[in-house]
Structure 1
Amino acid sequence: MTKQISQYVNRDLSWIEFNRRVLEEAQDERNPLLERAKFLSIVSSNLDEFMSVRVAGIQDQKRAGLTKTDFTGYTPAGLWKRIIKRATSMVSDQYSTFRDVVRSLEKENVVINKIKDLNETQKKAVSDYFHEIVYPVLTPMAVDRSRPFPLVHTKELYLAVLLKRDLKAEEEETLFAIVQVPSILTRYVPVPGRLNNKKQEFVLLEDVIEQFIDTLFNGYAPFSVHPFRLTRNADLTINEEGAEDLLEQIEKELRRRRWGNPVRLEVAKGMHPIALETLREELEIEDNLFEINGPLDLSFLLRFVNSLPGHDNLRYEKLEPAYPREFDESDDMFEVIRNRDVLMYHPYESFEAVNDFVLQSAYDPEVLAIKMTLYRVSGQSALVQALAKAAEAGKQVTVVVELRARFDEERNIAWARQLEKAGCHVVYGLVGLKTHAKILLVVRREQGTLRRYVHVGTGNYNDNTATLYTDIGLFTSHPTIGGDASALFNEVTGYSSPYEWKAFGVAPTDLKDKLYRLIDRERINAKAGRKAHIIAKMNSLSNQEMIDKLYEASAAGVKIELIVRGVCCLRPGLAGRSDNIKVISIVDRYLEHARVMYFHNNGEEEVYLSSADWMTRNLLKRIELICPVFDPDLRNMLIKMLKLNLNDNVKARELKPSGLYEHVRKESDKPFRSQFEAGHIPYWKGHV
């Protein structure tokens, strides 16, 4: 008897399919070679986060004996087995691809060597490097009756070492020790070139340490040295209700993250059985063991590629973001925004315009207040510096800093303290709700009245990711949006009765309901025989109720086109349910990050920008917003951008009813790559 297919795709299995699409970019020989290496690095980083958060949570449920199925039909134990099977297969393919990339790099005179393959001059240089730089920071940690197993830090690289006093004595006791490979040192070590040879040669730091491991154990003979790496549960458990000081509570939880339960153990293939059994027993790893045929943790490849001199022919052509032409026409950004709304498309247009706007606001004597949200900020944030200058100039500066932005908590704590020191009012949001909305409000005195200037974005206020992610930003002085922006900050920073939003939809109070109303309007139009069309672009779609709402609209005849980069639990192509829904995913040079929604509305087209994906956490457990684009020219620009994505037949994959993805392009099709077309600003923005 054939098992009936579920109406939904499991979220975690969908994520694995997403990471496999990233891996396909590393495998695609049409991509420049060094960019393929970067994609390999991204696969590793993605898998680390997935294991430490999602898989860790499933492990906790399994250990607690939970047997209830989720809405996709999986129990924790059943899902665990499926995840491990698929992840193991993906990692095997990842390292097969790595070996292929390494072979191709060798043809381009970039070589990651084994120490035994170096000449004597190079070996001498490596020896000097070890003894002068590496040896002083190493700490061997023995494990015996008097010294218990040491703390193994999450996602750090270690060497497991087996030793004896005398290798010839068969009855001699085998001893066990570990050595941490210092992450403060670069993972790849350059070695001097050979005479009359253009090769750039490197060795890996763990190989260097292994070569000289005997220097750490005087009087003992190491006979087995193999790398290993542990991933721990990294999800923070914060009792916000009982936390008098949220910042202090998060700092405490960050320290506790070091002792999170082990989730995954990676070991080098061929590890000695005694060492492997010791690690599994001490770390309590049951069935999430990965034996790796190659260097552990390929995330080092990103830094390796970025620091490698030359070889521009093996990289994407460098993109120089254009400064928005609207702001080139005047030195006064307020004048420009007062006269018209301005739309920016990153990374094709420069994020510097946002920095400049805040900086101009900081020095403008007519600016009275600046309010903004910060979720993920870059290491050297010009925005933070500008906000500090504004506060020092006596302006009212309020910054909502989200301390719980996963894996950026420590950086955000540092920025919060710096802003407070400069005189800014720093708010840590509402209890139980992450502040994920991306909004900036400037209040300015003009001719005896106050005018509000607003920037709303789909991405974080982070000038680094603005060069790597595709995102949309809107500058406006529209009074309705300005009024909603003020109300939003009042709700987040103070006490405020529920507000009747004029333009925004705001989670968790009414964003979901607003989206429902917009979808239902299309459904009603379709039932009345009118044209009905929805296009929605986002990172993830996993909320069951939202999926069911889309199914209802599809069944009524609404044409629905979804551009979902990552997780998608909606299953298209189900007869009578989702046969009017098409889902594509684009994985390319830049991370597709913008959230944009289009509704045909019987010809009165509406377009919205949003900070929120259609996931339960975004719709119900975060402060998010959806903002309309009122300017008809800008609406048309965004519709053109969405159609660019929908016409992609090079990097787009279509989700099939099976839950798997297939490339869109047919051999007869003329190649159309949306990210490369979008790079020509006149194409989508209508510039002359």
Structure 2
Amino acid sequence: MKNKKNNHNYLNRELSWLEFNQRVLDEAKDESNPLLERLKFLAITASNLDEFFMVRVGSIWDQVQANFKEKDPSGLTPIEQLESIGHRAHKMSVEQQECYNNTLLPCLRKEHIYILSLNELSQEDKLYIEKYYNSYVFPVLTPMVVDKSRPFPLILNKSLNIALLLEYSENKEETIFATVQVPSVLKRLVEIPAEDNSKKFVLLEDIIKLNINSLFVGYKVMAMGAYRLTRNADLSIDEEGAEDLLETIEQSIRLRRWGATIKLEYEKELDDRILAIIKEEEEIEDKSLYEIKGPLDLTFLFKIYSIEGYAQLKFDDIKPVISSELLQSDDIFQVISNKDIVLHHPYESFDSVVELIKAAAKDPKVLAIKQTLYRVSGKSPIVEALAEAADNGKQVTALLELKARFDEENNINWAKRLEQAGCHVIYGLVGLKTHGKILLIVRREEDGIKRYVHMSTGNYNDVTANIYTDIGFITSNPYFGADASTLFNMLSGYSQIRDLNKINIAPTNLRKKFLYLINREAENSRNGKKAKIIAKMNSLVDVEIIDALYKASNAGVTVELIVRGICCLKPGVPGLSENIVVRSIVGRFLEHSRIYYFYNNGDDVIYLSSADWMSRNLDRRVEILFPIEDKKNAKVLKEILSVYLKDNVKARVLNKDGKYIKPEVKDEDYINSQEYFYSKIIEDIKSLKKLKSNMEEFRPITLIN
């Protein structure tokens, strides 16, 4: 974001993100959500905060260390941002603890699921734990003592540790500091026997505490408590100077473990002497300290969510269905030849995309497959299909983005697998992340070479495709095929991007295209014509786009924005944004699709994209924007946007102060957009009588709470 003179026009990016995480936390508090889903939402807030501190707070911390004092668009210096973030994050941390201790734990107990503290263990429990400790835990532990000959050890990023003060039996005047890492190679959540149908668990750190004397024979434990460091993981990579990008990124992953400490979490009532030692050794200021009442690192709740036998405490299963369009023939290439297809994930199955790639890998008529891969699953069927295609003699090119943050290691492994299979693997462009999602299949047919293209708002990840909402588009339109070929030639070589037929890309002309579309609505409104913009995205940060929306609002354009996460635009400000409404939807699925609609004087246009309205997407990434021109598909997308705008269950409306308010519901039905979409797709397929024999197991989800 570029700096602007009027800082009152923009919300701070980081504080806006924290408000998004608050909306996730609100789902953990929402009693209408099933209990284990509430635990999962709480675990997500903890995981989100970890990444936020490692990346965003780490980046601002670097600015402070560099004595950078320039204000951000909201008018805050880096130091002021850290202070505001700290205040808000501490408040959120307290809310997380209260939600866990006072709400979710008692609810779990009512369901006979117990996470026991040390003082709740029976004698039988302790005997079982002692045996478990001696068999599985003790052999793995490595106690580290700090004295004149042994310096303070390097504490791994996000590792859970137990700090101790020891007293030597022969010299009681001297206390010694020691630390023990809770092994990440062992299960943190340990189940202990229960006599009835209940579930009893104890945390690994408590098992270690209970048996801590076995590690320090001859010493008396004076005090102990758990602590956890979060380190700066915003490590930049010198791509220009990297002879081997693969090796450079592998090194940067290792370095993440040792970045500067930017946050210290510790158990409530930790001995002041222990805290003072850690603070001094890690050079931590008081404002970076987070006292936690209860267990540290609530991501262990993901494991509670995964225990079997409690389906009644989760959302009803939603089984993605095959698109009715693709059910009309067993020949997927014939179906795509007849019509463009829009897929709404996760309601319509992502398996259709996987099967398309698998079919291409086996089809003797297919000559080449080219694909961008940003984030893929740990056992990706897509990558395996590409490897099979190469084994079958097809030309396979995969752009595997190594710089996808926190997925680098996974992508490195897949890159090596693809290379071994004979695929051409590209590691992205210097200085740019390739974030656009596109697949090109080149096939020899009776009337010549034909190209099939798939583009999407989401990643080629079969796992996240079940929990993210995204839109996919499949076409055999020759103009899209020509554009896809041009794009891949640019990515794999030095070919310059000429004018494309249908697609706009970043960083070449995507910003210019978006500004043109926004400004055209503003001009139409100034000329007395009806004008409207509806845009759905993950984040809205870019100042130039925000300013264009402000001008459009002042020109009379109705602007309705659906922004899941960060939004730096201030809506509803008289004379600035009074015609702009911003809403966010947080539900069981992560809203991930990017849809852009422009009224265009009645000749409306609608686009899908891999890009949010952020500077990084428009200027520093390879992104794709593509139109949906088929009237039937465009109508489907407009209906999707309409439902999102009617959501009054999971939607929250942003006010000009940066807070999100639940919309008032009068005499209308409650509408949960995510539940509606699944019900609608099931009903559509039933009406077309294209269901398979197992369709009776599906049932529509009611829209009325």
Cα displacement (A) at 1:682: 3.4
Larger CA deviation: 668-677 vs 127-136: 668-677
- CA–CA separation in structure 1 for the residues paired with 2:440 and 2:53: 38
Residue 135 of structure 1 pairs with residue 134 of structure 2: no
Cα displacement (A) at 1:685: 6.3
Cα displacement (A) at 1:681: 3.5
**DSSP-derived class of the 1:640 partner:** helix
Task: Give the structure 2 partner of residue 302 of structure 1.
Answer: 302
**DSSP-derived class of the 1:173 partner:** strand
- CA–CA separation in structure 1 for the residues paired with 2:135 and 2:273: 32
Cα displacement (A) at 1:531: 1.1
Cα displacement (A) at 1:154: 0.4
Cα displacement (A) at 1:448: 4.3
- CA–CA separation in structure 2 for the residues paired with 1:589 and 1:561: 23
Is the CA contact 1:677–1:683 (under 8 Å) kept in the aligned structure 2? no
Kindly provide the CA deviation profile for residues 447-493 of structure 1, in whole angstroms up to 9, marking residues without a partner as x. 14111100001010001100111011111111111111111111111
Larger CA deviation: 158-167 vs 635-644: 158-167
Task: Give the structure 1 partner of residue 179 of structure 2.
Answer: 178
Task: Give the structure 2 partner of residue 74 of structure 1.
Answer: 76
Task: Give the structure 1 partner of residue 192 of structure 2.
Answer: 191
Is the CA contact 2:7–2:74 (under 8 Å) kept in the aligned structure 1? no
**DSSP-derived class of the 1:172 partner:** strand
Cα displacement (A) at 1:684: 9.2
**DSSP-derived class of the 1:237 partner:** coil
Task: Give the structure 2 partner of residue 375 of structure 1.
Answer: 374
Residue 62 of structure 1 pairs with residue 64 of structure 2: yes
Is the CA contact 1:166–1:172 (under 8 Å) kept in the aligned structure 2? no
Letter in 2 for 1:193: A
Kindly provide the CA deviation profile for residues 311-335 of structure 1, in whole angstroms up to 9, marking residues without a partner as x. 2221100111102222222121100
- CA–CA separation in structure 2 for the residues paired with 1:665 and 1:392: 58
Task: Give the structure 1 partner of residue 400 of structure 2.
Answer: 401
- CA–CA separation in structure 2 for the residues paired with 1:224 and 1:668: 60
- CA–CA separation in structure 2 for the residues paired with 1:246 and 1:665: 52
Task: Give the structure 1 partner of residue 699 of structure 2.
Answer: none
Cα displacement (A) at 1:660: 0.6
The within-5 A match list for 1:291-440 is: 291-306=291-306, 308-440=307-439
Task: Give the structure 2 partner of residue 550 of structure 1.
Answer: 549
Is the CA contact 1:372–1:439 (under 8 Å) kept in the aligned structure 2? yes
**DSSP-derived class of the 2:415 partner:** helix
Is the CA contact 2:471–2:593 (under 8 Å) kept in the aligned structure 1? yes
Kindly provide the CA deviation profile for residues 56-105 of structure 1, in whole angstroms up to 9, marking residues without a partner as x. 11111112222211111000111111100000001101110011101111
**DSSP-derived class of the 2:8 partner:** coil
Is the CA contact 1:598–1:608 (under 8 Å) kept in the aligned structure 2? yes
Task: Give the structure 2 partner of residue 231 of structure 1.
Answer: 230
- CA–CA separation in structure 1 for the residues paired with 2:430 and 2:164: 47
Cα displacement (A) at 1:151: 1.1
**DSSP-derived class of the 1:671 partner:** coil
The within-5 A match list for 1:483-632 is: 483-632=482-631
**DSSP-derived class of the 1:86 partner:** helix
Kindly provide the CA deviation profile for residues 552-591 of structure 1, in whole angstroms up to 9, marking residues without a partner as x. 1111111110000000000001112211111000001100
Cα displacement (A) at 1:683: 7.7
Per the normalisation by structure 1, the TM-score is 0.97
**DSSP-derived class of the 1:353 partner:** helix
Residue 17 of structure 1 pairs with residue 16 of structure 2: no
Task: Give the structure 2 partner of residue 34 of structure 1.
Answer: 36
Cα displacement (A) at 1:437: 0.3
- CA–CA separation in structure 1 for the residues paired with 2:386 and 2:252: 28
- CA–CA separation in structure 2 for the residues paired with 1:277 and 1:244: 44
The within-5 A match list for 1:44-59 is: 44-59=46-61
The within-5 A match list for 1:281-296 is: 281-286=280-285, 287-296=287-296
Residue 645 of structure 1 pairs with residue 644 of structure 2: yes
How has the CA–CA distance of structure 1 residues 192 and 462 changed in structure 2, closer, same or farther, with 3 Å as cutoff?
A: same
Task: Give the structure 1 partner of residue 664 of structure 2.
Answer: 665
1:84 pairs with one of 83, 86, 89: 86
- Extract unaligned runs of 5+ from structure 2: 1-5, 689-705
Letter in 2 for 1:11: R
Cα displacement (A) at 1:165: 1.4
Letter in 2 for 1:300: F
Is the CA contact 2:487–2:497 (under 8 Å) kept in the aligned structure 1? no
Instruction: Give the number of aligned pairs.
Output: 680
Larger CA deviation: 295-304 vs 419-428: 295-304
- CA–CA separation in structure 1 for the residues paired with 2:257 and 2:126: 37
Q: CA RMSD in A?
A: 1.4
Letter in 2 for 1:150: P
- CA–CA separation in structure 1 for the residues paired with 2:423 and 2:664: 52
The within-5 A match list for 1:451-470 is: 451-470=450-469
- CA–CA separation in structure 1 for the residues paired with 2:484 and 2:575: 41
Cα displacement (A) at 1:245: 1.1
Is the CA contact 1:115–1:123 (under 8 Å) kept in the aligned structure 2? no
Kindly provide the CA deviation profile for residues 84-130 of structure 1, in whole angstroms up to 9, marking residues without a partner as x. 00000011011100111011110110010123322232221111111
Kindly provide the CA deviation profile for residues 383-423 of structure 1, in whole angstroms up to 9, marking residues without a partner as x. 00000000011100000000010000000000000000000
- CA–CA separation in structure 2 for the residues paired with 1:667 and 1:29: 21
- CA–CA separation in structure 1 for the residues paired with 2:447 and 2:661: 60
Larger CA deviation: 250-259 vs 539-548: 250-259
- CA–CA separation in structure 2 for the residues paired with 1:448 and 1:333: 18
Task: Give the structure 2 partner of residue 103 of structure 1.
Answer: 106
- CA–CA separation in structure 2 for the residues paired with 1:683 and 1:114: 46
Task: Give the structure 1 partner of residue 700 of structure 2.
Answer: none
- CA–CA separation in structure 1 for the residues paired with 2:439 and 2:680: 25
Task: Give the structure 2 partner of residue 442 of structure 1.
Answer: 441
Cα displacement (A) at 1:198: 2.9
Cα displacement (A) at 1:8: 0.6
Letter in 2 for 1:17: E
Letter in 2 for 1:155: K
Structure 1 consecutive aligned stretches of length 4 or more whose deviation exceeds 6 Å:
683-686
Cα displacement (A) at 1:498: 3.0
Per the normalisation by structure 2, the TM-score is 0.95
- CA–CA separation in structure 2 for the residues paired with 1:113 and 1:665: 41
- CA–CA separation in structure 1 for the residues paired with 2:245 and 2:106: 50
- CA–CA separation in structure 2 for the residues paired with 1:136 and 1:256: 28
- CA–CA separation in structure 2 for the residues paired with 1:409 and 1:654: 35
- CA–CA separation in structure 2 for the residues paired with 1:667 and 1:558: 27
Cα displacement (A) at 1:303: 2.3
- CA–CA separation in structure 1 for the residues paired with 2:51 and 2:385: 32
- CA–CA separation in structure 2 for the residues paired with 1:66 and 1:356: 51
Cα displacement (A) at 1:5: 7.8
- CA–CA separation in structure 1 for the residues paired with 2:365 and 2:425: 22
Letter in 2 for 1:179: V
Cα displacement (A) at 1:135: 0.8
Cα displacement (A) at 1:524: 1.3
**DSSP-derived class of the 2:383 partner:** helix
